[in-house]
């Protein structure tokens, strides 16, 4: 998912004037919050058997790259839970039971809103200090 921030021009101008480290922190915090929405939805929707739940527990978010203009978050299964991709995509003998893809698709508007809210709140907080 790729986003371009638009909105309060004064706030965005202030963001561009901030130090690189401050920009990186605000952007990373915003994207992390959006990714956490996906993780929680995917965990809620992941299939599990009674007494199991290893697949749900293995869904994680990892920051792959963070710069002042770009943050890449990876949401997937922890190493050691190799069958997560089989559940997500299916096999020739087992129908797919996806949870990651639908979590992003179902929450897209909520994710964008959350990222924007945290982003602009971070700018306001940084400007005040």
The tens place of each residue's pLDDT in the chain, 129 residues long, gives 666 666 667 777 777 788 888 888 889 999 999 999 999 999 999 988 887 789 999 999 999 998 878 899 999 999 888 889 999 999 999 999 999 999 999 999 999 999 989 988 888 888 887
**Number of folded domains that form the chain:** 1
3 lies in some domain: no
pTM, full prediction: 0.82
- What HEC string does the chain produce? CCCCCCCCHHHHHHHHHCCHHHHHHHHHHHHHHHHHHHHHHHHHHCCCCCCCCHHHHCEEEEEEEECCCCEEEEEEECCCCCCHHHHHHCCCCCCCCCCHHHHHHHHHHHHHHHHHHHHHHHHHHHHHC
90 lies in some domain: yes
Structural domain for 69, as ranges: 9-128
Give the per-residue pLDDT at 21.
86
4 lies in some domain: no
51 lies in some domain: yes
């Amino acid at each position: 998912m790729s986003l371009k921030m638009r909105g309060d021009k004064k706030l965005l101008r202030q963001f561009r004037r901030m130090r690189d480290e401050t920009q990186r922190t605000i952007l990373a915090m915003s994207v992390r919050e959006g990714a956490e929405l996906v993780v929680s939805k995917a965990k809620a929707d992941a299939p599990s058997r009674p007494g199991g739940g290893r697949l749900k527990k293995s869904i994680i978010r990892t920051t792959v790259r963070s710069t002042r203009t770009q943050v890449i978050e990876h949401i997937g299964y922890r190493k050691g839970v190799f069958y997560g991709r089989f559940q997500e995509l299916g096999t020739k003998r087992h129908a797919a039971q996806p949870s990651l893809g639908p979590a992003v698709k179902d929450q897209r508007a909520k994710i964008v809103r959350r990222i924007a809210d945290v982003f602009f709140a971070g700018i306001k907080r940084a400007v005040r200090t």
